[in-house]
Structure 1
Amino acid sequence: MNRKILKILFSITVLILSYGFITYKITHFNELKSFDIEPFIYKTGNLYYFSIIILLMFMNWNVEALKWQKLVRKIQDIPYLKALKAVFAGITFGIFTPNRIGEIGGRIYFLDKGKRTYGVLATSIGSYAQFIVTIAMGILGFTLFLLLYPELIHIHSFFNQLTAILLFLLLGILVWSFYNIKRIKPVLLKLPYLKNKSGQIEYLSYESTKSLSFIILLSALRYIVFFTQYYILLKLFEVDINLTQAIVSITLTYLFLTLIPTTTLVELGIRGSLAIFFIGIFSENTLGIVLASIFIWIVNIAIPAVLGSFFILKNIKTNKPIPN
Structure 2
Amino acid sequence: MIRARKNIKIIFRYVIAPLLGAWLFYSLYKQIKGQPDLRESIHLIKEAPFGIQAWKFWLVISLVFVNWGFEAKKWQVLLKTLKPVSFFTAYKSVLSGVALSINMPNRIGEYGGRILYIPEGKRIRAISLSIAGSISQLIITLIMGCCGLVYIIFYQGDNHTAVMGLPVFWLKTLLFLSSSAAVIIVLFYFRLSWLIKLIEKIPAAAKYVQYISVLDNFNAKLLLRLLYLSFFRYVVFVIQYILLLQVLDVSILWINGFWIISILFLVLAIVPSFAIADLGIRGKFSTELLSFYSTNTVGIIGTTFGIWFINLFIPALAGSLLILGIKLFKDNS
Asked whether the two chains share a fold, i.e. TM above 0.5, the reply is: yes
Q: TM-score, normalised by structure 2?
A: 0.81
SS of alignment partner, residue 217 of structure 2: coil
2:234 maps to 1:227: no
The equivalent residue for 1:216 is 227
Kindly provide the amino acid, as one letter, of the partner of residue 318 in structure 1: F
Distance in 2 of aligned mates of 1:111 and 1:124: 15
Out of 251, 254, 270, the position equivalent to 2:265 is 254
Q: Which amino acid is the alignment partner of residue 279 of structure 1?
A: L
**2:223 partner amino acid:** L
What SS does the corresponding residue of 1:51 show, helix, strand or coil?
helix
Q: 1:242 aligns with which of 253, 260, 267?
A: 253
Q: Does 1:299 align with 2:299?
A: no
- Give the equivalent residue in structure 1 for 2:97: 90
TM-score by length of 1: 0.83
CA RMSD of aligned residues (A): 2.7
Query: What's the CA shift string for 1:141-196, capped at 9, x where partnerless?
Result: 000001112254425554444432322221111111000011133666799x9763
Identity %: 29
1:45 aligns with 2:15: no
User: 1:205/1:241 Cα in 2 relative to 1: closer, same or farther (>3 Å)?
Assistant: same
Match of 1:175 in 2: 186
**Separation in 2, partners of 1:65, 1:290:** 29
Match of 2:329 in 1: 318
Letter in 2 for 1:45: Q
Deviates more, 1:230-239 or 1:194-203: 194-203
The number of residues matched between the two structures is 293
> 1:280 pairs with 288, 291, 303, which one?
291
Match of 1:185 among 185, 196, 199: 196
Equivalent residues in 2 for 1:76-225 (5 A)? 76-154=83-161, 155-185=166-196, 196-225=207-236
TM-superposed CA distance for 1:205, in Å, is 2.2
1:14 matched residue in structure 2: none
Equivalent pair of 1:71/1:122 in contact (CA under 8 Å): yes
Q: Are positions 1:266 and 2:277 aligned together?
A: yes
How many Å separate the matches in 2 of 1:72 and 1:290?
A: 37
Q: Which residue identity does 1:233 align to in structure 2?
A: L
* Partners of 1:189 and 1:287 in 2: CA distance: 54
One-letter identity of the residue aligned with 1:316:
K
- In the superposition, relative to structure 1, how do residues 282 and 188 fare at CA in structure 2: closer, same or farther (>3 Å)? farther
Is the 1:60–1:225 contact (alpha carbons within 8 Å) kept by the matching residues of 2? Answer: yes
Counterpart contact for 1:91–1:304, Cα < 8 Å: yes
Deviations 1:189-222 (A, max 9, x none): 799x976321232331220100000000000011
Query: CA 1:113 to 1:57, structure 2 compared with 1: closer, same or farther past 3 Å?
Result: same
Counterpart check, 1:75 vs 2:82: yes
How far off its partner does 1:244 sit?
1.9
Which stretch shows the higher mean deviation, 131-140 or 278-287?
278-287
CA deviations 1:275-319 (Å, max 9, x no partner) are 011111111111110000000000000110111122112112211
Structure 1 unaligned spans of 5+: 1-24
Code of the aligned partner of 1:267: D
Q: Would the aligned equivalents of 1:249 and 1:275 in 2 still touch at CA under 8 Å? A: no
1:41 is paired with a residue of what secondary structure? coil
What is residue 13 of structure 1 aligned with on the other side?
A: none
Question: Map of 1:53-64 to 2, 5 A cutoff?
Answer: 53-64=60-71
